[in-house]
Structure 1
Amino acid sequence: MKKLLFIVLVILIFLLIGIFPSALRIRYAKGQETAVIIVPDDYATIQIAINEAHEDMVIFVKAGIYGGDITINKAGLKIFGDGRQSVIQGSVFVEADNILLSGFTIGGGSDTGIFLKNVDSCTISNNNVSNKDVAISIYNEPCMLEQTYGRNSICGNILSNNNIGILSILKMGIPPDIIYGNYIFGNTLVNNNYGILISYDIGIPDPNKVYGGNIIRGNTLLNNSHSFYFNYSLGTLSLSDGESITFGENIIQGNNVTNNGYVIEVYCEEIGILNTYGDISLIFGCNKIFNNYFVDNNILRNACIKYIDIWNLDTLDGKSIITALECWDDGYPSGGNYWSDYTGVDERSGPNQDLPGSDGVGDIPYVIDALNSDKYPLMTSHVDLDSTPPSTITTYNGLWQSTNFTIYLLAIDELSGVKETYYRINNGPVQNLSVHGHPFITTESDNNTLEYWSVDNAGNEEPHRFLTGIKLDKTDPSIAILKRLPEGDVEPDQEVKVLVNVTDLLSGVKDAILSYNINNSLTWINITMTFNMTSGLYEGIIQGQHAGTIVKYKIIAYDNAENYIVEDNNGQYYDYTVVPEFSSSLLTLLMLMILSSIFAIITKKNWNSGKDEVG
């Protein structure tokens, strides 16, 4: 009988005991791609950020020193440094169109600072480059007639103590259908050997085309050996009667050119003329130079053809090769240039300076050399070139954030450069970047506001921009009323429904996850729960299991800011064990029957023992 009682107890213990498994860590912070990449927060290096970015994304590089060369090869990337405090110790190679690179200091021992190769419509702005062989280089070599390169903007950079500040090279065998120049605006070039050097290497120049079209405006050139240097190396020309080629027609406007060696230089390294007949003309120069500020420069203009080779020329009559002429004004009343050594007076006015009254233009031309003069020299040095305000963008991606965060303000101005950026958070006091840094959001809300604007060095103020709906939620969601159905025994292959109330008062509930474990395995199965509109509860189903299976579960809830909470019964987890085929009522009946049998056996044994004693 003792053996029978032991078996019953073992059965009861087996049916009631539970074992609690350990939990496998789940990645609660769900990553999501944004339109802005921040280095080093998102990626440790600039190059990795570029490699991981898609076209047209924004990359912001925090202040710091970043080693190694950089290659930008995805179109449309906008890469901002933090106010020239982001230092690249190497070269930057731009190999895709529509790139913006702004706000860096380029250091290191490399020969070239920023190198653009065969690209179109890129902007290089507000960078510092010094002590290089070439600070910024633009190299275009079209290989097909329909290819077009150029229209790149080099603006607001500070380039000092280099051999060449800005170098633009266009090399072509046969010129493409359209030739574009570049835009060189608002740069400061100091103590360079060559300030701006523009070179054309043309195998077979086409007639009736202009090789030039660069716009050089609003730059400051100080203490350079050579200011504006134009160089041409030409292959073989074959021109017919009435045809001409112009190498020049660049616009040089509103530059401050002070204490330099040479101002304008136009050179043709070599040229070959073959089978040319009739009246033809070759023009080197013909640049439009106006509204500039020329002070204490040594030689104003120099030009020559260094080597010329001629074959099969019918006659010299009607052949015109001009290297000495420039256009030194923009007509009246826009005028010419300011010359610090001009000695004329302003007592007359009008296109011919023969009308009474002053007009800000000198009455007599300023003579440069025997063939060049400024017909309308300006009496004052101020020329307002920049009437366009800066443009500022932000790095905010419109998503909920779960911790205090910075919104970076990135401004660009393609002429005079950005002087300062201002902002107000939630209608608070006006702050500026140079003193207070970038806006820092700390208030929990679904509608923080940011007012921001920039001012350039010409005093143009950007219309104020307003960013609303800035969202910050630092509070975890909450979980309550956790229950399961059925509440009692779970039979084999019976589904179990878990119900839970999840709330988040600010950003709202994003997901409720039912995570469960089978028989202490290391694998947790995650089920996204569905929201029942009627009950207001989240519901999840645990699939039916075999008899004797131990199931443990917990709830994980996320809000839209990726805050999360885990409800796991204080680390003990919620659990149940799947019972055998019979129900608890049958189990009770079985136990009663077993106990009754035991009682009957004992009673019978006692009765027999009493009978024997009576007998």
Structure 2
Amino acid sequence: MVNNKSWLFVLFLFIMLISMFFTLSSLGQAHLETLFENGVIRVPTDYPNITYALINCADGDTILVEPGIYYESLIQVNKTVRIVGVDRENTVIDGGGTTAFIFKINVGNVIIENFTVQNTNLFYLDVAAIRVYNVTNVTIRDVIFTNVYVGVQLIRSNLTNLMFSQFLNIKYCGVNIKTVSCNSSLVGNTFENMTAVVISDADSQFTKIYHNNFVNATLPSPPAVVFFDNGYPSGGNYWSDHVAQDMYNGPYQNITGGDGILDVGYPSSDYPWDSYPLANPFLKIDITVELEDFDVFVSTNATLISHEFSVSAKTLTLTLESVEGGNCSCRVVIPKSLLSCDSLNEWVVLLDGEVLSYLPYEDGEFTYLYFVCAQSMPESVIQIMGNQVVPEFSVLAFLLIFLVCCLVVLGIKIKYR
């Protein structure tokens, strides 16, 4: 006969299972909050706007801003915080035509990400959406800048990281680097129909500019040392005005077969800024597995319609719109921490279920796969299969198996009591 203690233990395990399930589910729904180690202040739930949140926060806090339009300017960031929008397109900071700045960052180790920042005065000199002033190690990521005089201005600031942002309808320039601002990195940004980057003095040295899209965008010859590519096979930038062929691959572009990198440097082979210009525009795909974020990069002449990642199938799936003429070229950069193979020839690439040949390269962090295909349908499905995926085993699956094992052990114990 089963005693009450056994049934109480079964009930306890059942409640534990349900609790863990809902806990993990809530973690997934509040993924942004799991990234933050310290306190989270919510706008407008806790405070009506970012300015008030900054007054009341502490160093190390995160200010999480819900979707909406916030009419703010002259926001002074004087604490080491992370300011994050929940939805980049719909969390809008509107400067209302300010003649100074929308954000001014006065301390180091600040992160601003996932916003649309718009509307400064377009006729006053030295007006910036985000001004980084006399600090070190600031990150600006996944921000849309539109209808502003200058997007980001660096003054006496070092080690600034500007990543995966878009610059649209800019009056003067997207990024202005001046007054001895050194060792900045501009990676994965898109500049359209503007002067992209202005480096104002020879003492603002060693800026790294790679994996950006310069679409009908000019870039004045910099007076300082600038690095326009990240070496091979990582590559440089996409320049819409650069006309060249992709017939070769390798660090010296002397091996027959294209690799998604043009064979002639930009702006010319004689005086190349960018030794490895990308053949097609660069874009980032966000993939989240087990509450961890991974960035996959794609450079293609086709339009990416959707993507999907399956941990169980160890497969990345891309759906591409067919290009005119049906000849698609695609370069996919996959972090080894997400998906990998023991050797480069073990990858499998399929187009609508048919095996494609590919050119593989790798470095310590990424695998680079380049392939071309003839598209016969309005949409094409590309599947990229590895043989190692991280994490291999779901936390939720582990907990479920653990609890099931406990129940089995308990059942055996009850049966032979």
How far off is 1:59 after superposition? Answer: 4.7
Change (3 A) 1:257 1:390: farther
TM-score of the pair, normalised by structure 2? 0.52
How far off is 1:413 after superposition? Answer: 11
Task: For 1:120 and 1:59, locate their aligned partners in 2 and report how far apart those are by CA, in whole Å.
Answer: 14
From 70, 73, 84, give the equivalent of 2:52.
Answer: 70
How far off is 1:381 after superposition? Answer: 1.1
Tell me if 1:194 matches 2:150.
Answer: yes
Tell me if 1:120 matches 2:120.
Answer: no
Aligned to 2:231: 331
Task: For 2:296 and 2:117, locate their aligned partners in 1 and report how far apart those are by CA, in whole Å.
Answer: 15
How far off is 1:135 after superposition? Answer: 5.8
Aligned to 1:525: none
TM-score of the pair, normalised by structure 1? 0.36
From 57, 65, 69, give the equivalent of 1:102.
Answer: 65
Equivalent residues in 2 for 1:147-166, closer than 5 Å: 149-163=107-121, 164-166=128-130
Letter in 2 for 1:187: V
Tell me if 1:251 matches 2:211.
Answer: no
Aligned to 2:167: 221
Change (3 A) 1:370 1:107: farther
Change (3 A) 1:371 1:230: farther
Q: Deviations over 1:331-364 (max 9, x none)?
A: 0011011111211000011111111111111011
Change (3 A) 1:343 1:354: same
Aligned to 1:183: 139
Aligned to 2:213: 293
Task: For 1:390 and 1:192, locate their aligned partners in 2 and report how far apart those are by CA, in whole Å.
Answer: 38
Q: Deviations over 1:13-41 (max 9, x none)?
A: xxxxxxxxxxxxxxxxxxxxxxxxxxxxx
The structure richer in helix per residue is 2
Equivalent position SS for 1:365: coil
Equivalent position SS for 1:186: strand
Aligned to 1:137: 103
Does the 8 Å contact 1:121/1:151 carry over to 2?
yes
Equivalent residues in 2 for 1:344-423, closer than 5 Å: 344-367=244-267, 373-384=273-284, 386-387=286-287
If you compute each CA radius of gyration, which structure gives the higher value, 1 or 2?
Answer: 1
Aligned to 2:22: none
Does the 8 Å contact 1:186/1:415 carry over to 2?
no
Q: Which runs of 5+ in 1 are unaligned?
A: 1-54, 77-95, 141-148, 171-178, 201-210, 233-245, 269-281, 304-322, 393-411, 417-461, 467-615
How far off is 1:379 after superposition? Answer: 0.7
How far off is 1:301 after superposition? Answer: 2.3
The CA RMSD over aligned residues, in Å, is 3.9
Equivalent position SS for 1:300: coil
Percent identity between the two aligned chains: 22
Task: For 1:346 and 1:132, locate their aligned partners in 2 and report how far apart those are by CA, in whole Å.
Answer: 45
Q: Which runs of 5+ in 2 are unaligned?
A: 1-36, 122-127, 298-390, 398-417
Change (3 A) 1:332 1:165: same
How far off is 1:385 after superposition? Answer: 6.3
Change (3 A) 1:68 1:196: closer
Letter in 2 for 1:165: A
Change (3 A) 1:383 1:124: closer
Letter in 1 for 2:231: G
Change (3 A) 1:413 1:376: closer
* Count of aligned positions: 254
How far off is 1:64 after superposition? Answer: 12
How far off is 1:72 after superposition? Answer: 3.2
Letter in 2 for 1:137: F
